[in-house]
Structure 1
Amino acid sequence: MVDMTKTTTEKKLTPSDIRGVFLRSNLFQGSWNFERMQALGFCFSMVPAIRRLYPENNDARKQAIKRHLEFFNTHPYVAAPVLGVTLAMEEKRANGAEIDDGAINGIKVG
């Protein structure tokens, strides 16, 4: 008998994705504004990871983009650890962990 169970592969960020996030993070301040401060730069930095973790252009990807457009402000030199923790949480969430939006945004706003 053939096993017809659906196998799911783990979604994992590649070194290239992480490097892309790092390179984009150098542009954090380029889109600073008074409403959400560095949120647009943070979201722009996260795009390579979001594309890898949510390859289908569906609601999960749209929600991830919206999640990272929430208020964010820090010194640009301190943003790297916040990005790293957020990347790890996003990766776990994409693989089925029960991490809600509040937990991810809580990392970004302290």
Structure 2
Amino acid sequence: MIATSLALALAIQAATPAAPPRLTPEQEQARGQAAIEGMAQVYTVLGSCERHFTPEQVRAVRAPLEPEPGAAQSPLQSLIDQAYQRGKADTTKSAPFCQEVMRMLAEAQRGG
């Protein structure tokens, strides 16, 4: 009985994820900056693929960059839109590459 209880307690402890370590403000800022830079890179690629996308795909990609009615773009939207516009100048991405990018994004949105 004690062995079973001990085994159960150890199994529960192993299955329970440890609390994430606390980050310093500098680490939190670095993570936030890395996330923003990653988003900018993604939108640079999406901008370079725009010419291969369907109009529906372009609208879906650009929707997060549009401000709420009557509002201006947020600084983040502006930064990401600038990355998208820079990407549009890059014509090296092939149609198959761009469609694979869209497939991967759709899959990620579905949670798969």
Instruction: Please report the TM-score for the alignment, with normalisation by the length of structure 1.
Output: 0.28
Q: Give the helix-richer structure, 1 or 2.
A: 2
Larger radius of gyration: 2
Q: Which structure has more RCO (C-alpha within 8 Å, separation ≥ 6)?
A: 2
